[in-house]
Structure 1
Amino acid sequence: MTGTGTGAVFQETSAQPRTEAVPFSHLSLELGHLYMEDFAEGPERLRGHFAAVRPWVEAARASLPPLPDGKRPRISTCFLIDDYFSRLATPAELLPPLLKAAEQAGLTIDYLARESGCAATDPRRPERGGLAEFVLGRLVETPPPGSRGFRPPLSRTGWLTNGRRAPAQRTAAALSAAPSWQPPSETGARGHSVFVDVELWDENADRRTWSCAFLAAVWQLARLGLLRDNGKAVLAPTGWDPAAFPDDWDALPPLLRLNPSAAPFTAYYTCSVLPSRFLPVEHAVRVILEQTQVDAGALGQVVGRAADEDFPVPAGVVERTSYVFPPGL
């Protein structure tokens, strides 16, 4: 209740949910994202991966802006496991060799995430939907210049673009004349367009399967500490003993903290060291992030916290994500 003089205003506290704060590292460094097929190639494939990643990890650390008073940056590492599109082995079989290969390369995986955790519904609150469904509700399509609004909404089509698609003939009258082809165009293109049309999901037998690009966008938002559900932080890490992985993926929390002394999972900046095959996927991720309306309270916390540390952080979400695609990875 608030009041001035004799007047009073009553308001339920739920109308103004408090934005839960999360701790921040300066950098969240992703050491890889492999498919189950990569793991099937054996320990040598894993050792080769981390050996190729190692020098770029050092470069990413050195690329951070300097901190005042010579302070050391807080950097956490993470790894995303694809248990969403396939499950060729159990966690007990697959994860110990992964951690061992990283250790042999002189690297530590602080946080381990399941890709299915970026999609699945929380069994404790099924009415809330999953993280992917939640982020989908925050997408705001950028209308291209000259758009007449005839394009179906992404909530129906499952496709998101960064511009204007090539128009399709839609009437019998249009078929009676020679077609006049018009190219697609990128909104805000600099000189020439790089047009991208991103599939967010497909459906088969009433089952929706989220695309790799959309789940990767959810993953980026989680690492940047920008996901809130009615003010409450989501995808919080759960402490886990790396010597005790179960035989069932669903027995694992979506995000594990394997290193008790690790810097925070969420960070002002993210950097992902990935095989080059992920380049088109991550381009699509940036298209999605550019059209995601992030929680204003969460974004304000990032800006305010970074300012308190005298650490520069761009206002745009995309500008805080970066990638390395090492040759031969």
Structure 2
Amino acid sequence: MSDAVFRETSAEPRTQSVPLSHLSLELGHLYMEDFEAGPERLGEHFAEVRVWAEAARASAARRAGGNQPRISTCFLVDDYFTRFSTPAELVPLVVKEAEKAGLTIDYLARESGCAVADRIELAESVMHRLVESPPPGSYGSRPPVSQTGWLANGQRSPGRAAALAEVTGWQPPKETAARNHSVFMDVELWSERDGRRLWSCPFLAAVWQLARLGLLRHLGEPVLTPRPWDGADFPHDWDRLPPLLRLNPEADPFSAYRTCTVMPNRFLAVEDAVRLILDQTDVDSEALKQVAARSAAERVHVPAAVAQRASYVFYEEPADPSGERT
């Protein structure tokens, strides 16, 4: 008896490619408390971002292999954990303060779109692509990430149950790929609140990075794709605002070979967690091949590791007169 399996060609989903810039430059990834601080706080943020954005553009031009660099900018608004004001009030304020600092926001995204966009469960889809790397010497006693909601970069300290393995005393956690010494991380991907799953900030930020790198697909189709803004008034309800909006009709493509994010240094721990998640995500292989082929044709080097394609600039936030950070 033959074990051959026959499939119609139409049954094989084709992975659609997406246009790519050289760099996706994020001009802000702020939360509602940042907006509550008023326009002055936004103005200070964009003034600081302008300095580093110019350096990021110069770096992208150097890496473009002699080509004119394609650079798009984006801004992410938190409407997932808390909702403040309305798009009609907030979006024009953000655009205005950016323009005052000499910056143009090409694309504006809602963080809730990293969880669900156009009825597609993006975060859930990425969660199913997580591939834990079992640390050397582990005994399989740790439940999988799909059950615990926690993802680590190594072996946790053994608990009391490890006594069966003849553990006589406390043992430290161990990073799987430690270099001389371990830097162990254990990241919470979600929690349960009121009977529903609440995705963590690092996990949604990892989805956001995959979207910016052009590596998200659903049944072969791109997801979290930008919709053009027709210049009309913005809605008063966040749910009526598209997950990803193209504000600049002349913008370069949203997704890019590399990303750079300029943000306050209080986000450093979050972005460390993002890189851990990206390192253990089984990214769509066809999407990776498309990026590799196109970058090779343009003679642009793109790191093989997805996490290495994301870069950051962390700046120190100014202090208010009381000495507290704003």
TM-score (norm 2): 0.92
Structure 2 letter corresponding to 1:249: W
The residue aligned with 2:85 is 89
**Alpha-carbon distance in 1 for matches of 2:171, 2:127:** 30
Structure 2 letter corresponding to 1:16: E
1:10 Cα deviation from its structure 2 partner: 5.0
Structure 2 letter corresponding to 1:93: E
SS at match of 2:161: coil
The residue aligned with 2:21 is 25
Considering only aligned residues, what root-mean-square deviation do their CA atoms show, in Å?
Answer: 1.8
Are 1:117 and 2:100 counterparts?
A: no
Query: Contact conserved, 2:156 with 2:173, CA < 8 A, in 1?
Result: yes
Are 1:148 and 2:136 counterparts?
A: no
1:44 Cα deviation from its structure 2 partner: 0.5
Structure 2 letter corresponding to 1:22: V
The residue aligned with 1:231 is 220
The residue aligned with 2:94 is 98
**Alpha-carbon distance in 2 for matches of 1:178, 1:21:** 51
1:15 Cα deviation from its structure 2 partner: 3.6
**21-30 or 311-320: which moved more?**
311-320
1:16 Cα deviation from its structure 2 partner: 2.0
Query: Contact conserved, 2:21 with 2:256, CA < 8 A, in 1?
Result: yes
SS at match of 1:170: helix
Query: Contact conserved, 1:227 with 1:295, CA < 8 A, in 2?
Result: yes
Q: 2:76 aligns with which of 73, 77, 80?
A: 80
**Alpha-carbon distance in 1 for matches of 2:221, 2:146:** 25
Query: Contact conserved, 1:96 with 1:242, CA < 8 A, in 2?
Result: no
1:61 Cα deviation from its structure 2 partner: 1.1
**Alpha-carbon distance in 1 for matches of 2:241, 2:15:** 27
Between the aligned residues of both structures, percent identity stands at 66
Question: Structure 1, residues 202-251: CA drift from partner, whole Å, max 9, x if none?
Answer: 00232110000000000000000001111111111000145521000000
Query: Contact conserved, 2:152 with 2:184, CA < 8 A, in 1?
Result: yes
Q: 2:41 aligns with which of 36, 39, 45?
A: 45
Unaligned runs of 5+ in 2: 319-326
Question: Structure 1, residues 281-329: CA drift from partner, whole Å, max 9, x if none?
Answer: 0000000000000001000000000011111111110111100001226
1:37 Cα deviation from its structure 2 partner: 1.1
Structure 1 residues 150 and 263 mapped into 2: Cα distance closer, same or farther (>3 Å)?
A: same
Q: 1:107 aligns with which of 98, 103, 107?
A: 103
**Alpha-carbon distance in 1 for matches of 2:112, 2:64:** 36
Are 1:34 and 2:30 counterparts?
A: yes
**Alpha-carbon distance in 2 for matches of 1:137, 1:295:** 12
Structure 2 letter corresponding to 1:317: V
**Alpha-carbon distance in 2 for matches of 1:273, 1:184:** 32
Question: Structure 1, residues 19-47: CA drift from partner, whole Å, max 9, x if none?
Answer: 10100000000001110111011110110
Q: 2:125 aligns with which of 134, 154, 157?
A: 134
Question: Structure 1, residues 252-275: CA drift from partner, whole Å, max 9, x if none?
Answer: 110000000000000000000011
1:71 Cα deviation from its structure 2 partner: 2.5
1:122 Cα deviation from its structure 2 partner: 3.5
User: Any runs of at least 4 consecutive aligned residues in structure 1 with deviations exceeding 4 A, and if so which?
Assistant: none
The residue aligned with 1:126 is none
**Alpha-carbon distance in 2 for matches of 1:224, 1:55:** 24
Unaligned runs of 5+ in 1: 1-7, 124-128
**Alpha-carbon distance in 2 for matches of 1:249, 1:89:** 9
1:118 Cα deviation from its structure 2 partner: 0.5
Question: Structure 1, residues 51-105: CA drift from partner, whole Å, max 9, x if none?
Answer: 011010011111224434x422000000010000001211111111110000000
The residue aligned with 2:285 is 296
**Alpha-carbon distance in 1 for matches of 2:118, 2:227:** 15
Aligned length: 313
Structure 1 residues 66 and 96 mapped into 2: Cα distance closer, same or farther (>3 Å)?
A: same
Query: Contact conserved, 2:228 with 2:246, CA < 8 A, in 1?
Result: yes
TM-score (norm 1): 0.91
